[in-house]
Structure 1
């Protein structure tokens, strides 16, 4: 940790010394010499840090010395940041032209300023310059004095190090390791086949309980693989087809019945709920599950409070008798509290050494082709596997470590490491993780340890994490490469199994992840004197002492909901403030208290780099926010009642990331945003009331990420689409780029300029035209052609388009497109020939009211397609609210998708799921569905189609091969290849239609 701090700081010192030579800063006597001395002392200390960090695990005196070093390192970091700010401020012009309003308004404004100047006597420009210079000299002298004091403190620390016989280590840059991400996808746990079969058999058994759903606990120590076992079962095909509903809720600590109940409802309804009381939520749960056969997984339960458990389980008793609740927990007391018998409890054994080696081997040997070397490594690897203690988490971590070790000697060094011999119990527990941690570079160590700022079980967004790393200067390598360095660091930590539970985008890239509880504990162990967390759920919470804490996480129902002491923020040492507000509801008297807390933060925490206030129900931002001059990362997302940002936000010239997504009431952004010269990431998706982005954003040459562009009605007042060309570094490789109000292009005179076609970093594009307007507008086709994206686009959505033609020439040339969506294209009568798109995997069409027929042209020009295949990779196809859709034409010769097939067309050979919802007039399905490998068909609120299926054997045979069918949200009529004849009878389907000769005749 100290090594990582100093590594980042030395880079900053080099930058400061270089800048001293460029700027007129030598007015402060001997400051350059002081900074150079500081650098030399830090370099001398850095040479022994690796040995010190190793010895501190068993030597408290070395640990205390490192603590002193960390404290002074943070203090030096703060001083250097003050100095850098002075340099930056001197480079920003005092007056930034505000490019808002038409030129007449500008002229009036200039005229008014001139009239004002006639009435007031100002000092001459040269006098102002001199006064400003004198002020700067004063500030810099104060900083120089602080540097001198820190030099003296560092002298004492440097002398003290001699008492510990610390050895110097070679600080040469480590050689590059081979890299791959092929094993990032989490594998099954070796040695758990019997446990998996046992859990599945209990879930599918006919056992019932008069106390509600049968409860099945999985009990075992941390790192045993309980959650992974539950995930394997949850996603097993038999479980998917047996249960109508499957719900996964991560419980963790504390046991919050309201939050869990909300999660259950949202899984059933697929939408968020605004209910706030447990009584109302319980009533909704009863309505949602009554008579249904569900599986509920409650992962990581700690509380054995029977009263809380009863409140949660009571509404679940309305489900079908075959319903199940699967619980994972470390505590036997939890299973006992639930009233579960020992025979019902599953206690996985520790893995054998052989199975641990299999996990290590799969990860460590990934990509290795030298069979002779692999045989040499195997003997050492099996010995290392003995140190896994039977825990798959440790095996995965060691496998990730050994993947980076290329020689037999490096493997033997892992086996003979002194870390296995640690005596301190807590350090000994973390020994396997120390091995992997110590093998990281200082930068990677710092990035991992910073993850302790997130609460346990928190879903960590990859882009958020990288931007927070950047805000603390952990990612060096020059301003052009910080994001790339962050991506590399994230990839390495992922390969080392420090992260898990990955969520991916349509391209397979990781969007978010979590940390295992044990690894989270390990990160907190590494940072116990720098990071602190506090949970607030009582009125009388004591203030936290944050004298040395630099990164602080507060978990609270809302910013002022628990009335925690604002004096908590009176210290001025914090670099990170992470507020995790999990509650709901907003009391009328809370606003003033929230503002008081916010003001205390702004006035006292002058050195904050990261301020995370997502979903804190903030309604106002004080202008004092502009005093946080070192702030690099500001997250205000999800504060739906926030109406505006104060102009003082533009004083945050160090700001790199501004997140304001889903601030639905936000009406304007400050006009002076052109002063945010270091802004690299601006996220505003979900800010529906914004009319445009300030014109000054077009001057932000450092901007990399812009997730949303709003085409304004007034080109003079706001950023225009053409302005994007000025942003040379703009990339959107981590997000979908939204262009809102595309209809305004026609009034902007930009409808002939194709800005996006050369934007190579654009993986996803969402085009939104005029919402709530049902008038036809043929001119929008020209606008659609103007918005031609780069051919490498992978994700495209078009919403509220008012033209009749939805097929510009560029659409069928998107050969890399994987996901496509049309929504509320109210005047379109014919869908484009999408079957020709070779990479399309997901297609969704909704609220296209004029479509009456989907004809063969929809399949594309099959004869010109490769191998006569239409929709060659399509997996998901969905139609919603197509109220006038009557016919799905299939007048085309087809053939089965086999190697010897010839002559006919092959249509949708990979189709897995088909959803049809609220298509009231659709009468039949196409014949070619019989030849698709469909696994799931859902038909909801489509009465004519249901009637046709029930009355015509020919129609029914089109879907009879599908293993999982759901009609009108009812019980699945076919589960795991078995027909539910009673359910079919209820739907009106004659038995003769469904007997296919492979099942026992029910009669």
Structure 2
């Protein structure tokens, strides 16, 4: 609706007066700006300007929190609850959006339906629009988002929570200890030393959340948590160095969220844990010492999210097939003993998994005669955006001396849907890594190739039209990176999906290799000796890596030269580390390869700048 000149003038005058309330503080100005975007009328703007909060008798409200309170009061009841809950994260923590949503679900804030995650994301977006979060980082492949809360916003959330939230910091003799009483609902404990402990007893019986973050090498949870007194806990996050859990964790009958990730010394899960039939989310990522998941996992009938990436399981228990409500299973394991473990053919019973966006398949080499890999049928998983194919554990790599044709055939059978954006293939023993489907991944933006002992030649990756980031690591037999890697192809203007017209010659087709590549990394390719450039065999205009921004070369001990075409790229950042011969050859002004990189503004050799901002 169009406003009159008088209305616009009045709104501008009111807006200037509101802006002065920010006292020049960027965070306050941003918060007020986010609030005002939802105000459309003069009276609504005047309500903000004349709010009693600006004159509150509470000094903390008047001088610090007034603008945040105005924005907070504008939230829905659901948004208020979800915002306040963010205070359980320690200050300056990275907050994963999906992790936060699962914690909201565990508290019963969101509906218990298939659409609860969408409801949570909508709530998160609303809070983000109000500037309650900052420092956003978004995974460019499958949309995972992390953020932080400004310390003042964090203090504001804790201020509103009052006695319902308690933070305890334990560090040696010093202890910032607030009283936990029957009004406390959410507790965060930051443990910096194993020499000093507190114990939560009867006065903590109404706790709904316990978040323990440990910086110590050994954390005895049994000294802190007496589960028999904490039976109303719904959310339990134990991040640190936990070695064991007591059997009485099974008393937490209301527990819906349990995060034990990155407890690398945790060797066993107590059997009683699988009596927690209300559990919705179980996180065990990177629990390296955990040998297996018990068959009893089938008892967790309400489990929706199971995160086990980074665990070294030989297979998954057959009981997984009974968890028909699973929405997320971030890692599958192809077992060697088919009769002992979960058969991947039973994945069809877990119908909701096809909607997840990321997946790691562990021990692909065990697919053997291809029966197992064909059962997976990844080509139908159109929602899958990020895929890791890990063929075996790294310590098995050097026990096998010969090239394995089975690896090549299995990789061929694991064809993903063309929607895929990120792919990692690791610990692979095929002679080549050129499945026929590779070039069909026209949406692929990230490719990582790690730990190949037999692969001597790279596929024509330069043909991939959308590739932005490429990492080539530990290809120990790779000796040369040449024209076959660049995959020179001709493009014309009819090829709308992948073509990029040479701007200097708009009337001619152009040969372009790696048209969108921005980041390129070579790491620990110990036999690699030369980066051979493309030698022209056609008069057609040619460009190679026209968008290259960053190049990193690390531990390539035998590498002597860089490709000639590097001179023609818009490279901005070059890093060379622990590559003795190349370091000598790119020495500033005197190295025989210096002329190829002298145009690069920022060059680091072993983390020291030899050229910064062009100087």
TM-score by length of 1: 0.56
1:539 and 1:925 map into 2 onto residues whose CA distance is 56
2:160 maps to what in 1?
526
Decide whether the 8 Å contact of 2:284 with 2:307 is kept in 1: yes
* Cα deviation code 1:355-384 (max 9, x no counterpart): xxxxxxxxxxxxx99998977744432232
Secondary structure of 1:945's counterpart equals helix
1:590-669 alignment to 2 at 5 Å?
594-598=221-225, 600=226, 602-615=227-240, 617-669=241-293
1:294 maps to what in 2?
none
1:548 and 1:953 map into 2 onto residues whose CA distance is 70
Task: Flag as ranges the 4+ runs of structure 1 deviating above 6 A.
Answer: 368-376, 540-543, 951-954
> Are positions 1:422 and 2:41 aligned together?
no
* Cα deviation code 1:480-529 (max 9, x no counterpart): 11111111111111111101122332349453222111111111111102
1:533-612 alignment to 2 at 5 Å?
533-537=167-171, 544-557=179-192, 561-564=195-198, 566-568=199-201, 570-582=203-215, 584-586=216-218, 594-598=221-225, 600=226, 602-612=227-237
1:966 and 1:597 map into 2 onto residues whose CA distance is 47
Distance 1:567 1:532, change over 3 A: closer
2:196 and 2:525 map into 1 onto residues whose CA distance is 48
Distance 1:371 1:723, change over 3 A: farther
1:684 and 1:371 map into 2 onto residues whose CA distance is 60
Root mean square deviation of aligned Cα: 2.7
Decide whether the 8 Å contact of 1:419 with 1:431 is kept in 2: yes
Distance 1:658 1:732, change over 3 A: farther
* Cα deviation code 1:287-321 (max 9, x no counterpart): xxxxxxxxxxxxxxxxxxxxxxxxxxxxxxxxxxx
1:168-187 alignment to 2 at 5 Å?
none
2:347 maps to what in 1?
724
Decide whether the 8 Å contact of 2:34 with 2:131 is kept in 1: yes
2:224 and 2:610 map into 1 onto residues whose CA distance is 56
Bigger mean CA deviation after superposition, 519-528 or 501-510: 501-510
Decide whether the 8 Å contact of 1:619 with 1:641 is kept in 2: yes
> Are positions 1:444 and 2:79 aligned together?
yes
Secondary structure of 1:730's counterpart equals helix
1:206-217 alignment to 2 at 5 Å?
none
2:452 maps to what in 1?
825
1:374 and 1:830 map into 2 onto residues whose CA distance is 66
Q: Which runs of 5+ in 2 are unaligned?
A: 492-497, 502-510
2:388 maps to what in 1?
766
* Cα deviation code 1:12-65 (max 9, x no counterpart): xxxxxxxxxxxxxxxxxxxxxxxxxxxxxxxxxxxxxxxxxxxxxxxxxxxxxx
Distance 1:567 1:440, change over 3 A: closer
Distance 1:852 1:512, change over 3 A: same
Tell me by how many angstroms 1:747 deviates: 5.6
1:889 maps to what in 2?
532
* Cα deviation code 1:413-435 (max 9, x no counterpart): 33343433433223323111111
1:931 maps to what in 2?
568
1:693 maps to what in 2?
316
Distance 1:743 1:376, change over 3 A: farther
Secondary structure of 1:752's counterpart equals helix
Q: Which runs of 5+ in 1 are unaligned?
A: 1-367, 896-901, 979-1003
2:26 maps to what in 1?
392
Tell me by how many angstroms 1:948 deviates: 4.4
Decide whether the 8 Å contact of 1:660 with 1:684 is kept in 2: yes
Tell me by how many angstroms 1:385 deviates: 0.8
1:517 maps to what in 2?
151
Decide whether the 8 Å contact of 1:713 with 1:747 is kept in 2: no
> Are positions 1:945 and 2:582 aligned together?
yes
* Cα deviation code 1:869-890 (max 9, x no counterpart): 2211111111122222233232
Tell me by how many angstroms 1:707 deviates: 1.6
Tell me by how many angstroms 1:659 deviates: 0.9
Distance 1:942 1:525, change over 3 A: closer
1:130-279 alignment to 2 at 5 Å?
none
2:594 maps to what in 1?
956
2:424 and 2:4 map into 1 onto residues whose CA distance is 48
Secondary structure of 1:799's counterpart equals strand
Decide whether the 8 Å contact of 1:894 with 1:906 is kept in 2: no
Secondary structure of 1:816's counterpart equals coil
Tell me by how many angstroms 1:933 deviates: 0.5
2:435 maps to what in 1?
808
> Which of 874, 878, 885 does residue 517 from structure 2 map onto?
874
> Which structure features the higher share of helix residues?
1
2:102 maps to what in 1?
467
Decide whether the 8 Å contact of 2:474 with 2:525 is kept in 1: yes
Decide whether the 8 Å contact of 2:374 with 2:414 is kept in 1: no
> Which of 825, 848, 851 does residue 478 from structure 2 map onto?
851
Decide whether the 8 Å contact of 2:231 with 2:253 is kept in 1: yes
Distance 1:804 1:399, change over 3 A: same
Distance 1:580 1:947, change over 3 A: closer
Decide whether the 8 Å contact of 1:618 with 1:641 is kept in 2: yes
1:827 and 1:739 map into 2 onto residues whose CA distance is 21
1:917 and 1:841 map into 2 onto residues whose CA distance is 20
> Are positions 1:456 and 2:91 aligned together?
yes
1:85 maps to what in 2?
none
Distance 1:426 1:940, change over 3 A: closer
1:643 and 1:579 map into 2 onto residues whose CA distance is 19
Secondary structure of 2:375's counterpart equals coil
1:860 maps to what in 2?
487
Tell me by how many angstroms 1:389 deviates: 2.0
TM-score by length of 2: 0.89
1:553 and 1:853 map into 2 onto residues whose CA distance is 53
Secondary structure of 1:468's counterpart equals helix
Decide whether the 8 Å contact of 1:721 with 1:755 is kept in 2: no
> Which structure features the higher share of strand residues?
2
* Cα deviation code 1:149-168 (max 9, x no counterpart): xxxxxxxxxxxxxxxxxxxx
1:479 maps to what in 2?
113
Secondary structure of 1:739's counterpart equals strand
> Are positions 1:741 and 2:363 aligned together?
yes
Tell me by how many angstroms 1:461 deviates: 2.0
> Are positions 1:912 and 2:549 aligned together?
yes
Decide whether the 8 Å contact of 1:706 with 1:732 is kept in 2: no
Tell me by how many angstroms 1:407 deviates: 4.5
Count of residue correspondences: 590
1:969-980 alignment to 2 at 5 Å?
969=606, 971-978=608-615
2:318 and 2:273 map into 1 onto residues whose CA distance is 16
Decide whether the 8 Å contact of 2:141 with 2:386 is kept in 1: no
Tell me by how many angstroms 1:784 deviates: 0.7
1:254 maps to what in 2?
none
